[in-house]
Structure 1
């Protein structure tokens, strides 16, 4: 048992997640020194909840990246799903379950369109999803005229799910965005870690031709990952609407790089075959922590985008370097044998 524990510990210490965790701790310590309010529990919880919809979409992007694809259209998918959901429940009534159901169905349908186009056209998925990003968003703005939506029903405005007494007489509140985030992260972790489907997703991303030869249905895997991305985009759109209580066609468009940065920072490769839910959560955490710290320090939000761009470049560079080292080590072992 001790040998197994030592092996697991060594594996974690050598992983991308460990170094990312160290960076998060150091960054948080520096920000706390500069701004003691940063470490306040209300600030940390608020920071997590206010960005929860981005984290939900991030685990969807992770699934697509592991499969060897890439989806840039998820913010447009979320916007369309959000608009249809909001229009339906405001005009015809309903409940929170129906709101999530409508957005999820729309998201799955649009995600499936991406999967079908990627499979049939044999064009790099980034090209397809950039195209569908513009098509989905363009059609929405053309039909709606870019009109904002207000006037959600009272039941939709409820954000707190559970309240119970905490230390020092304070109430601990579990909000809807936080609960949905936990469910989305847990579900994705279970799929990728413990199911045959998850192993097939990794196999397709690692070597699509080898996966095809062993009998894996590539189309069904792509249909699942892009559909699952659409599903989570739809769910995230409801969470965002629940927080903002308005629907603006341009509210989510432009947030793609934040989500993608979190995933690649967490160790997912744009070439496919690698990535973990823990890494994505830590990558998302680092980006949100730095953005919040920059805000507390009064630094312009324009620098947030600079930071995200640098993160993407560094992450891709480190991933490429580590892959090259791995290939070199494999070549040396083969020569020795």
Structure 2
């Protein structure tokens, strides 16, 4: 009977461990700093992390499908620049047009990756390293690295969903948080409530088996990378709204933070496994750690070392290996059940 109840719990082993680690880090930072557990700082973490969560939702789809993409942050920068430039030339537009344009442009960049990977049979990591450099090189070449500060009024006027005055100033929740929630919900629907989501899991778990079942692998590639591209385009627009400027290299390097967070949350680099809740918890751990190090005055290079270590561990250890190690720590009976 207890075993049946445990299987119904929505939180898996990875998510449970992440919750414990996050709780310990929060407890330590609350004691070590006076400003960490304040409404202003908590809301700042939420607003800053919203863009990364949108990225993570799209990246999770690609990882589940058995691929990998490290070009999405640069793609978001390209979409950001193209969308703002195009909107400026037609008089500014509005939120509906801006979101639609960003989604379409982002999906097109994602489709480029999908086409190269599927039709030319090139490994996804190789393709996205190439497009990472291609997109960023083209962006910097044609823009000269010049930032855009003259944004449309609807984009430059920060939309505040909730605010409250505190002793340390105003604590605000801004529009990117709402967009984050909508994106996560839409991704959850795709992965857990549609046949397309089940096909993505099947392809990531066993590509040849999925092909024999009649799953259109080409369509799944375009869906996965197009979804990530659309999420990246939307994240780029939200970053422009949050920063109230467009800086060509502002999102450069975010791909490592997001990748580390998603694999930390239990997504398997080989495909076929991953949850949105785990990805969000992984990103929460990364964001809280980064924020805590900043408040403690620790060098930002320490954060980069942590990110590199997480990626290295994720690549070195499969989910089964981690589960076996954890079971052995719990005792011989649990270890025997894993076998």
TM-score greater than 0.5 by the shorter chain = yes
Residue 188 (str. 1) matches residue 225 (str. 2) = no
Cα deviation 1:217-253 (Å, max 9, x = unaligned): 0000000000000000000000000011111211112
Q: Which moved more, 1:31-40 or 1:288-297?
A: 31-40
Alignment partner of 2:267: what SS? coil
Q: Separation in 2 of the partners of 1:176 and 1:322? A: 40
The CA deviation at 1:30 is 0.9
Equivalent runs, 1:86-101 vs 2, <5 Å: 86-92=84-90, 93-101=92-100
Q: Separation in 2 of the partners of 1:131 and 1:227? A: 17
The CA deviation at 1:7 is 3.3
The CA deviation at 1:59 is 1.1
Q: Separation in 2 of the partners of 1:319 and 1:45? A: 34
The CA deviation at 1:191 is 1.1
For 2:81, the equivalent position in structure 1 comes to 83
The CA deviation at 1:196 is 0.7
Residue 23 (str. 1) matches residue 21 (str. 2) = yes
For 1:50, the equivalent position in structure 2 comes to 48
For 1:291, the equivalent position in structure 2 comes to 290
CA contact (8 A) 2:266 2:319 kept: no
The CA deviation at 1:295 is 0.5
RMSD after superposition: 2.7
Q: Separation in 1 of the partners of 2:228 and 2:193? A: 19
TM-score, length of structure 1 as denominator length: 0.90
The CA deviation at 1:34 is 0.7
For 1:72, the equivalent position in structure 2 comes to 70
Q: Separation in 2 of the partners of 1:31 and 1:163? A: 25
CA contact (8 A) 1:160 1:173 kept: no
For 1:250, the equivalent position in structure 2 comes to 249
Alignment partner of 2:63: what SS? helix
Residue 309 (str. 1) matches residue 313 (str. 2) = no
Q: Separation in 2 of the partners of 1:279 and 1:303? A: 24
Cα deviation 1:112-137 (Å, max 9, x = unaligned): 01101100111110001111111122
Q: Separation in 2 of the partners of 1:321 and 1:213? A: 26
The CA deviation at 1:44 is 0.9
Alignment partner of 2:269: what SS? coil
Q: Separation in 1 of the partners of 2:64 and 2:124? A: 13
Q: Separation in 2 of the partners of 1:163 and 1:99? A: 23
Q: Which moved more, 1:292-301 or 1:316-325?
A: 316-325
Alignment partner of 2:161: what SS? strand
For 1:211, the equivalent position in structure 2 comes to 210
Q: Separation in 2 of the partners of 1:191 and 1:90? A: 33
Q: Which moved more, 1:84-93 or 1:308-317?
A: 308-317
Cα deviation 1:266-318 (Å, max 9, x = unaligned): 00011111110000000000000000000000111111101111122233344
User: How many aligned residue pairs are there?
Assistant: 327
Equivalent runs, 1:216-227 vs 2, <5 Å: 216-227=215-226
Query: Are the structure 2 counterparts of residues 119 and 296 from structure 1 closer, same or farther at C-alpha, using a change threshold of 3 Å?
Result: same
Q: Separation in 2 of the partners of 1:124 and 1:289? A: 33
Cα deviation 1:162-221 (Å, max 9, x = unaligned): 348899xx9985421110111111111111111111111100000000000000000000
The CA deviation at 1:8 is 1.6
Query: Are the structure 2 counterparts of residues 239 and 5 from structure 1 closer, same or farther at C-alpha, using a change threshold of 3 Å?
Result: same
Alignment partner of 1:87: what SS? helix
Q: Separation in 1 of the partners of 2:2 and 2:160? A: 41
Q: Separation in 2 of the partners of 1:179 and 1:45? A: 13
Pick from 46, 57, 64: which aligns with 1:59?
57
Query: Are the structure 2 counterparts of residues 299 and 323 from structure 1 closer, same or farther at C-alpha, using a change threshold of 3 Å?
Result: closer
